[in-house]
Structure 1
Amino acid sequence: MSITIPHATCRRMDGKQSYSTPSVPAAGTELLWHKLEEAEIEDIKEFSDLFSRQVVERKPTKKKEDKPSKVQAMKILDSKRSQNVGILASSLHVDFSEIENAIYNFDTSVVNLEALQQIYEVRATEEELALIREHVSTKPEVPLDKPEQFLHELAEIPNFADRISCFMFQSEFDDGISSIESKLNNLKSTCQFLTTSESLKTVLAIILALGNYMNGGNRTRGQADGFGLEILAKLRDVKSKDSSVTLLHFIVRAYMKKCEDPLRPGLALPIPEPGDIDRAMTVHFDDVNADLQKLQRELFVCETKTEKVIAASTEENVQPFKDKMNKFLTSAKKQLTGEIENLEECKMKFKTTMQFYQYHPKGGVNEDEVDPKDFFALWSPFCSDFKDIWKKEQQRLIKEKTQEAKRIQEKKLDIQKSKREEGGLKSKVLRRSLMKEAQ
């Protein structure tokens, strides 16, 4: 069976273009591929649309002809620099036209982004390029050594360094803005949970009730209206008289008893996920603001380079660079503005959460200067311990439920066995003997 995908070349999962030939097995070896038939794929058109290599109309490139020459090649670079450039050039294993295609068309199907970044990093300095061009113009009959020739060919691509730089920044910007967005959104959602979750309020109400009971319920020590968050981390340290359980164990069990079915699949934790709390602790508003300002500056530099490339390009090589970069710049500015607003929203949400719990930072620090790490550090051990105990308590309930079901089943079997024995020969003989004695 074969699959034909029209008008497209299907890429391998590792990004290369063709399938490799399996190694020849030893005689008599049973292999999966001897018996496995290709599966029938219903949505082959969708597969083709998703995974076929994008066909890009290539710009015409001048084919470099390597003329055999007995003249010794000219070395301009120092030995270490020449070695580094030579290793990179030979490690790419592609024709130079593929590099041109990647730079002109933003096509990473053959030359990937990592390779383009390496090419960008080894580009010729102004001094090196001046020496290479001087040699080409004054002694064209003496060929350049391969590393020098590679750098010269790169420099012949109009604004190649700026093109690659813009290309790389797209990836860097996407990674940077996504990381910031993820951090801020997690902090916002965690604050939202802390201020609105009814299940969390139930847990805190249990803690308050037990605390008041333990404090005796008098006016001086008991009947508190609330408690400081620093209490949360200490709950695991309060042990029962026989040291079999902690106060936190009792709190978890008390909450579970309030649940209609504590073993219901998908039942959510009544407290924030420990991972969300730990991620929220890593947010530093000043650092996020600095990262956003850095992205803003780099975006301006990228925009300047884009305008420079477009201005210096001809009609033959200005596209698709112009359209792709203009689209990216428009989207990036919008994303950046959105995350700057998101940061301010996060600050307000965090401040509201601190006020909700009447949190007072140590040392008289102003609320606007409190670091999320200080606030969420009070929640982290509590949430982690609560989740661990929650899982163990669920396992304990499952075990008790299983044992109860087993006891019921054994009781039924005993009753059935007793009924069967009542109708047996031994039972009849015993009844007759008792009747004779009675007579």
Structure 2
Amino acid sequence: MQVKNDVAKNKSPSPKKHIIEPKRLQNMTILLKALNATPEQVCDALMQGEGLSLQQLEALVKMVPTKEEETKLSNYQGDIIELVSAEKLVRAMLNVPFAFPRIEAMLYRDTFEDEVIHLRKSFAMLEEACKELRSSRLFLKLLEAVLKTGNRMNIGTIRGGARAFKLDALLKLADVKGTDGKTTLLHFVVQEMIRSEGIRESEIPMKNNYQRTKTKTPEHREEEYIRVGLDLVSGLSAELCNVKKTATIDLDVIASSVSNLSDGMFKLQHLVPDNLSTEYNCHFVQSMRTFLKYAEKIIKELQKDEDRVLLHVREITEYFHGHVSEDEVNPLRIFVIVRDFLGMLDRVCKEVRTLKKTHTPNSVTTFR
């Protein structure tokens, strides 16, 4: 056993001969397995600007040597055999002009399209959310019902006769309880909306349906109003589906993504014409120049889209929420408020639907 251990130790390179620090070398060895390519294949792909998968490029980016490691590997005069595989690969890549900027350029090109698609989807979602809020008749009617209810509750006081309210107030409707301790102001508003929308929808003249509605008893008509109105009001959440999705978006992340794409393009523009000889790196330079023309056009479009969408967000926020300061922490706060309110609305609609008979308070005086 002792002899076998001695032989194994002799086969392993001495830690002192390692140029790269042992722990980092271990991580690079793991990445090398994921790379699954010889140093010759990697260097040839870097010269050509193609031939490496996204996974391979991501592994190579993590193997970029420090200045100290680069100097030691470049000046290494010993036997190459004494170097481990990861060190051999990095040393071979150092012979390729601007090897690691090439890797970053190829990785940027390969991830560019996915990033653009993601940003365009986010911009489209934001625009749709703004349109949904502005054009939703039911949402506007609901706001009107909240305003009227608030004024009826505050009649004769300094808070009565209000012409508007902050959307934050929507989230407080469930906090105002009736004298029974169970019914909330949100229940009252929703039940009022259900009945008014049911009457509005049911009394639209539609051929035979109109005549059938007229012949029903008052009790049956009331049940019909509630059934139809409940379907309409509970459908508001689906109608504002993009508003709920937009509430999860982080504008800082989007802005950072657009900025990173722009920065990556400038680095590539600097690398291709200034640092690489067109004669020596013909294929790499030509392929990157073709991509650069495309990337420059797309990034300009994204920047215009970003400006347009941010303007829409600001307009819809000021439309519903009044003036917005420049240092607003979350420009998408209005969508977060509406999303949370829609969650409350859905719960109330479910509660109303489970009741055998919907009871609508006949006066706001039942609320404290």
TM range (shorter): 0.5 to 0.7
Find the counterpart in structure 2 of residue 389 from structure 1. 348
Looking at both structures, which has the greater relative contact order when contacts are Cα pairs under 8 Å and sequence separation is at least 6?
Answer: 2
| CA offsets 1:232-282 (integer angstroms, 9 cap, x no match) | 121111223223322212323333341544448x945377446335235x4
- Give yes or no for contact 1:166–1:306 (8 Å, CA) kept in 2: no
The aligned runs of 1:360-375 (5 Å cut-off) are 360=323, 367-371=325-329, 372=331, 375=334
TM-superposed CA distance for 1:301, in Å, is: 0.7
Q: Distance in 2 between matches of 1:390 and 1:278?
A: 22
Q: Which moved more, 1:298-307 or 1:93-102?
A: 93-102
Q: Distance in 2 between matches of 1:96 and 1:292?
A: 34
Amino acid at match of 1:114: Q
Find the counterpart in structure 2 of residue 106 from structure 1. 50
CA 1:106–1:150: 2 relative to 1, 3 Å: same
Q: Distance in 1 between matches of 2:25 and 2:168?
A: 62
Is 1:346 the counterpart of 2:309? The answer is yes
Find the counterpart in structure 1 of residue 192 from structure 2. 254
TM-superposed CA distance for 1:300, in Å, is: 0.3
- Give yes or no for contact 1:200–1:270 (8 Å, CA) kept in 2: no
Is 1:89 the counterpart of 2:32? The answer is yes
Give the root-mean-square deviation of aligned CA atoms.
Answer: 4.1
Is 1:235 the counterpart of 2:173? The answer is yes
Higher-helix-fraction structure: 2
Unaligned runs of 5+ in 1: 1-69, 362-366, 401-439
Amino acid at match of 2:168: E
Q: Distance in 1 between matches of 2:246 and 2:258?
A: 23
1:150 to 89, 93, 111: 89
1:356 to 309, 313, 319: 319
CA 1:83–1:213: 2 relative to 1, 3 Å: closer
Q: Distance in 1 between matches of 2:40 and 2:343?
A: 56
Q: Distance in 1 between matches of 2:61 and 2:340?
A: 47
Q: Distance in 2 between matches of 1:269 and 1:85?
A: 50
2:19 to 70, 73, 77: 77
Find the counterpart in structure 2 of residue 335 from structure 1. 298
Q: Distance in 2 between matches of 1:324 and 1:295?
A: 18
1:301 to 267, 271, 282: 267
Q: Distance in 1 between matches of 2:168 and 2:73?
A: 69
TM-superposed CA distance for 1:206, in Å, is: 1.9
- Give yes or no for contact 1:235–1:247 (8 Å, CA) kept in 2: yes
TM-superposed CA distance for 1:161, in Å, is: 2.0
The aligned runs of 1:1-400 (5 Å cut-off) are 75=17, 77-78=19-20, 80=22, 82-90=25-33, 92-96=35-39, 98-100=41-43, 102-103=45-46, 104=48, 106-108=50-52, 112-124=53-65, 128=69, 132=73, 143-147=81-85, 148-171=87-110, 173-174=112-113, 177-178=116-117, 180-216=119-155, 222-257=160-195, 258-259=197-198, 260=201, 261=228, 262-263=230-231, 267-269=235-237, 272-273=240-241, 275-276=244-245, 278-279=247-248, 282-284=250-252, 289=255, 292-307=258-273, 311-312=277-278, 314=280, 318-319=282-283, 321-357=284-320, 359-360=322-323, 367-371=325-329, 372=331, 375-376=334-335, 378-394=337-353, 396=354
Q: Distance in 2 between matches of 1:358 and 1:268?
A: 20
TM-superposed CA distance for 1:388, in Å, is: 2.8
Where 1:202 maps in the other structure, the secondary structure is helix
Amino acid at match of 1:275: K
Q: Distance in 2 between matches of 1:220 and 1:88?
A: 70
Q: Which moved more, 1:149-158 or 1:270-279?
A: 270-279
Which of these two proteins has the greater Rg computed from alpha carbons?
1
CA 1:128–1:270: 2 relative to 1, 3 Å: closer
Q: Distance in 2 between matches of 1:79 and 1:356?
A: 60
**TM-score w.r.t. length of structure 2:** 0.66
Amino acid at match of 1:239: K
Where 2:237 maps in the other structure, the secondary structure is coil
Where 2:306 maps in the other structure, the secondary structure is helix
Find the counterpart in structure 2 of residue 45 from structure 1. none
Q: Distance in 1 between matches of 2:129 and 2:187?
A: 24
Q: Distance in 2 between matches of 1:359 and 1:128?
A: 58
TM-superposed CA distance for 1:168, in Å, is: 1.6
Find the counterpart in structure 2 of residue 59 from structure 1. none
TM-superposed CA distance for 1:203, in Å, is: 1.2
- Give yes or no for contact 1:310–1:318 (8 Å, CA) kept in 2: no
| CA offsets 1:321-356 (integer angstroms, 9 cap, x no match) | 445433432332223222322332234323322332
Q: Distance in 2 between matches of 1:345 and 1:163?
A: 34
CA 1:340–1:76: 2 relative to 1, 3 Å: same
Q: Distance in 1 between matches of 2:175 and 2:65?
A: 65
Unaligned runs of 5+ in 2: 1-10, 202-227, 358-368
Q: Distance in 1 between matches of 2:73 and 2:160?
A: 86
Amino acid at match of 2:191: R
